[in-house]
Amino acid sequence: MFGIVIVEDEELERQALRTILTDNLDGVSILGEARTGPEAVHLIDTCDIDLLLVDINIPKLNGLEVIRHLRSRHVDTKVIITTAYDYFEITRTAIHLKADEYLLKPIRTEILLSTVDACLQQLDASRRCRELSARILAQLERKAYPETAALVRRHVEWIYTQPGCALLELVLDFAAALVQLAGVKGPGMAQRAAQLRTMLVDGCVRDQVLAVFLAMVDRLFDMVGEAGAPQPPDPVQKALNYIEHNLKKGVTLEEVADHLNISPCYFSKLFKKTLDINFIRYLTTRRMDFAKELLDGTALPVTRIAQELSCSDVNYFCKSFKKEVGLSPSGYRQRSQAAQDRA
């Protein structure tokens, strides 16, 4: 639920704004309405506001002064300015105060709704990013690399399904969150974030973006290891990390052993001894887990999910999935969707 405050001195316009928003947008609540600047300031001081819809020309304290007060307390609140006057000075000040949108009256209903909806999508993305950062931090403390990699993959998949949000903004917000997790100990993380900006401007594809994010996750886990006594790299952990990076490919035992610079025979025995599961069984389980993530979290057709796992034969993929999970991919998706609907 997103909380909205409407600041408008004209009664009819205020009522119209409230009706349009509540009748046409799901998940919004009008926290309060203000006719004057002081009334708006009171709401800012007493409410947790997600979006402020504010007219510039209100009595006693104008809209720009209200926004200035808001910014001194709530940096992340979205602000949409409404005004009947298209003055350069107003626009310039609004930009300085980080207003998100500037609408000229009379405002068409479809323009108002699309503008508010875009702001709410950005708020939802920011909220999702904060929640994801907290989950990644918890996984770091548990040293749970595969789970963290799965979280990152799902988030990148989600980013690329958002039609109303700017791809660059969503990617950079997530990169900034990972940089913040690293803090002063991760100088290389900021360079990775800058690399993402350049890559997206150059039109790089999703898998390339994901690879950078996984490299950032690697650095976070390296930092966790550096916090304790110096230890030699764990070859099995390095293997697990390599597998997570390359789940979409047909990774072989020989390829991983070569990555570790040890013999395939020795690596196979070491892997089984350490994890009590052989390499093929582990790899199959992780690839099917990834398929389940895509079935749960995306609307991709089964044929496309098979392609995502570098499986050109969709029938073989479906048989492998059913053997591993006990249901066909379509059956699994239906059961998962029914469970989500009941929740």
pLDDT, greater one: 55 or 141: 55
3-class SS at 5?
strand
**pLDDT of res. 207:** 84
Indicate the pLDDT class of residue 165, thresholds 50, 70 and 90. low
Residue whose C-alpha is closest to residue 78's, from 41, 123, 124: 123
**pLDDT of res. 302:** 93
Per-residue b or e along 318-336, where b marks 16 or more CB atoms closer than 10 Å to that residue's CB:
bebbeebbeeebeebbeee
Residue whose C-alpha is closest to residue 219's, from 169, 183, 260: 183
Residue 246 has pLDDT above 90, yes or no: no
Q: Do domains 2-107 and 232-337 have the same CATH topology?
A: no
User: Mean pLDDT across the stretch 98-119?
Assistant: 91
Residue 168 has pLDDT above 60, yes or no: yes
* 6 contacts 22 by C-beta, under 8 angstroms: no
**pLDDT of res. 188:** 77
Render 107-171 in DSSP notation, one character per residue: PPHHHHHHHHHHHHHHHHHHHHHHHHHHHHHHHHHHT-HHHHHHHHHHHHHHHTT-SSS-HHHHH
What is the token pair recorded at 177?
């969150």
Q: Which fold has domain 2-107?
A: Rossmann fold (3.40.50)
Residue 36 has pLDDT above 90, yes or no: yes
pLDDT, greater one: 28 or 187: 28
**pLDDT of res. 202:** 67
* Domain 232-337 in this protein, CATH class: mainly alpha
Render 193-252 in DSSP notation, one character per residue: HHHHHHHHHTT--HHHHHHHHHHHHHHHHHHHHHTSS-----HHHHHHHHHHHTTTS---
Per-domain residue ranges of the chain: 2-107, 232-337
Q: Select the highest-mean-pLDDT range: 195-204, 228-237, 315-324.
A: 315-324
Indicate the pLDDT class of residue 2, thresholds 50, 70 and 90. very high
* 119 contacts 46 by C-beta, under 8 angstroms: no
Share of the chain above pLDDT 90, in %: 38
- Encode pLDDT of 284-294 as tens digits: 999 999 899 88
105: left (phi over 0), alpha (psi -120 to 50) or beta: beta
Alpha helical stretches, state H, 25-108: 37-46, 63-71, 88-96
Residue 240: phi and psi, rounded to 5, are -60, -40
**pLDDT of res. 232:** 45
3-class SS at 46?
helix
Q: What is the mean pLDDT of the chain?
A: 87
Indicate the pLDDT class of residue 88, thresholds 50, 70 and 90. low
- Encode pLDDT of 185-232 as tens digits: 566 788 888 888 888 776 667 888 888 999 898 888 888 766 544 444
For 88, residues 6+ apart whose C-beta sits below 8 A from its C-beta are none
User: Mean pLDDT across the stretch 249-255?
Assistant: 87
